[in-house]
């Protein structure tokens, strides 16, 4: 990957939704999905033909970047790497939060970024930052634009010219230290490109967030990302061992040395700073040899409570080290079964009949196979002997907690489709339905209460709004003391005029329940602006003052992504 891409060759989302233009959610091959949509959110999928928004239907306001500032930028990166056409400005003015996408799809372009600049090196980044400061511009660093917290969305009240810096041309694995198990990586590399370069030499970073296909390693660091394999490989703060960040006064460098005793951690200050302190240009990540055997096994529990006991026992076991563990509650299991494609092969049809027989047997044993049973996935990696030994131990743990082993078939399907869910949200908006997610971290002792109380908060709000709704949840990211709870909710909004008011009523009820119960405002979706209303309740007045002081001292002119994390 030694050749630098031009700006227009860098991968990007479609302007109105997630991912590429030619990829979309389909329901015609999922026979159970239309009935689920009708039952849960009152939508008849055959009632209308979805249409894609057309940008030319809307008026896009002209950019505000002064000609002299643009000339200075092109002097650094070249004319072809400073873009200001309408579609690129719209794409880079919105992340992929639900409010962002609703506004984009409906042409609510109150404030767009004025241009996008694509550096090719750390020296380019430093030169651009100096232009930003000298010209009093606002700079928003941009990785893949997949954030759902408002972290890359400009402030509608900002009057100064706004420049987005897309690091997508900086996508190289610079070097790998085989002995230390460390790789130096440019910050603009997307997840799939990173893995491709590492895999070619037998390595993996092991970080696979839901946004993997449309997020970058620099974005992971700037937003404190967590991947679905964090049980084994850690969250991004465990993976990133060192970094480089271009700062108004120079370049901040943290060394990839195990253990730090140099006072308060500059490294930790930069992680999660969302561009408020500077632009991350390079990270050093710990990498691992690709395991010779990888297998995802599915299990089923009679209900959520049995499943949580099983997950806790696996996390506490000293004899197993899963790559990931995941438990879906009853509603999410119901949703997952509705997403299964209609079998077309003889093998698939036989498997479907076996499943029907199994569910009939479970019902004869008193299981509720419609609303309560909870599917679980556990991933094992290692040598063949190690994987088989760990599978045997987990099978016993599951059985001791009331569950059964389904096997590798359902696990393989999950592993193949794990990055597809964001396309469903775009599809639902075609039917005037919102679908979104909220995540939190909780202790093992508090998981069940948080799970139950969040459901209560959501459905009480929907009842007050006079709207149907559907919520489901899974547990993932197991730790010694607790785990992540990841809630998904959907409901039809009554009109475009009331849509966001109704959305925030539901979202706020969930978020408020998190902090009221002592959980975190978000486990891995950053703060941005969407989660900012709860930051004081999450970290306290003193904590907020400390962060605000850090930002104010390092960026007194508020040129660096102002208004994110804190005002």
- Letter string b/e over residues 170-201, b meaning 16 or more CB atoms within 10 A of that residue's CB: bbbbeebeeeeebbbbbbbbbbebbbebbeee
The backbone torsions φ and ψ at residue 470, rounded to the nearest 5 degrees and listed phi first, read -140, 130
Q: Which of 88, 214, 377, 486 is catalytic?
A: 486
- In this structure, the number of other CB atoms found within 10 A of the CB of residue 261 comes to 5
- Note whether 187 and 143 are within 8 A (CB): yes
The backbone torsions φ and ψ at residue 440, rounded to the nearest 5 degrees and listed phi first, read -150, 165
Q: Which two tokens stand for residue 230?
A: 């964090």
DSSP assignment string, 173-207: EEEEETTTTEEEEETT-BHHHHHHHHHTTTEE---
Separation between Cα atoms, residue 34 and residue 43, nearest integer Å? 8
Paired residues of 163 in beta bridges: 115, 139
* Among the listed residues 374, 377, 375, the one whose alpha carbon sits nearest the alpha carbon of residue 411: 377
Catalytic site includes residue 118: no
DSSP assignment string, 343-394: P-SHHHHHHHHHHHHHHHHHHHTT--TTTT-EEEEEEEEE-HHHHHHHHHHH
Separation between Cα atoms, residue 430 and residue 564, nearest integer Å? 30
Tell me how far apart the 2 most distant CA atoms of the chain are, in Å: 76
* Among the listed residues 173, 138, 139, the one whose alpha carbon sits nearest the alpha carbon of residue 159: 138
Residue 440: its H or E element: strand 433-443
Helix, strand, or coil (residue 319)? coil
Residues noted as catalytic: 486
């Amino acid at each position: 990957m030694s050749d630098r891409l031009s700006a227009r060759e860098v991968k990007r989302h479609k302007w109105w939704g997630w991912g590429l233009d030619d990829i979309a959610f389909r329901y015609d091959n999922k026979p159970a999905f239309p009935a689920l949509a009708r039952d849960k959110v009152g939508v008849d999928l055959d009632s209308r033909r979805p249409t894609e928004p057309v940008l030319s239907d809307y008026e896009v306001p002209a950019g505000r970047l002064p000609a002299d500032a643009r000339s200075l930028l092109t002097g650094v990166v070249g004319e072809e790497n400073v873009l200001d056409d309408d579609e690129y400005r719209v794409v880079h003015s919105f992340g992929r939060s639900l409010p962002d996408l609703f506004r984009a799809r409906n042409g609510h372009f109150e404030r767009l970024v004025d241009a996008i600049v694509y550096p090719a090196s750390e020296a380019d980044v430093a030169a651009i930052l100096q232009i930003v400061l000298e010209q009093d511009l606002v700079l928003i660093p941009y990785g893949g634009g997949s954030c759902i917290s408002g972290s890359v969305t400009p402030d509608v009240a900002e009057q100064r010219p706004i420049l987005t810096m897309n690091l997508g041309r900086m996508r190289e694995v610079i070097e790998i230290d085989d002995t230390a198990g460390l790789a130096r990586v440019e910050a603009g590399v997307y997840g799939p490109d990173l893995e491709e370069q590492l895999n070619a030499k037998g390595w993996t970073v092991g970080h696979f967030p839901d946004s993997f296909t449309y997020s970058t390693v620099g974005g992971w660091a700037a937003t404190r990302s967590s991947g679905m394999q964090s049980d084994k490989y850690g969250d991004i703060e465990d993976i990133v061992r060192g970094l480089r960040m271009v700062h108004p006064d120079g370049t901040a460098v943290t060394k990839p040395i195990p253990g730090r005793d140099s006072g308060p951690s500059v490294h930790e200050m930069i992680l999660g700073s969302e561009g408020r302190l500077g632009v991350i240009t390079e990270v050093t990540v710990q990498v691992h040899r690709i395991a010779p055997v990888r297998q995802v096994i599915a299990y089923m529990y009679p209900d959520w409570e049995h499943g949580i006991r099983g997950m806790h026992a696996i996390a506490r076991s000293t004899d197993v080290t899963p790559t990931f563990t995941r438990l879906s509650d009853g509603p999410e299991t119901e949703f997952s079964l509705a997403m299964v494609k209609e079998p077309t092969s003889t093998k698939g049809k036989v498997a479907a009949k076996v499943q029907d027989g199994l569910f009939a047997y479970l019902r004869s044993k008193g299981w509720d196979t419609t609303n309560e049973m909870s599917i679980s996935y556990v991933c094992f990696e290692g040598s063949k002997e190690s994987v088989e030994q760990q599978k045997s131990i987990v099978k016993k743990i599951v059985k001791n907690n009331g569950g059964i082993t389904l096997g590798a078939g359902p696990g393989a399907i999950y592993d193949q489709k794990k990055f597809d869910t964001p396309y469903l949200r775009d599809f639902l908006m075609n039917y005037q339905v919102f679908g979104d997610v909220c995540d939190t971290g909780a202790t093992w002792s508090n998981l069940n209460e948080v799970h139950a109380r969040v459901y209560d908060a959501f459905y009480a709000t929907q009842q007050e709004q006079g709207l149907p709704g559907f919520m489901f949840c899974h547990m993932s990211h197991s730790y010694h003391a607790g785990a992540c709870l990841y809630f998904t909710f959907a409901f039809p909004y009554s009109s475009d005029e009331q849509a966001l008011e109704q959305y925030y009523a539901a979202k706020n009820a969930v978020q408020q329940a998190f902090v009221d119960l002592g959980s975190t405002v978000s486990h891995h979706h950053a703060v941005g602006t969407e989660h900012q209303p709860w930051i004081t309740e999450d970290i306290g007045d003193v904590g907020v003052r400390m962060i605000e002081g850090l930002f104010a001292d390092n960026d007194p002119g508020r040129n660096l992504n102002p208004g994110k994390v804190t005002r």
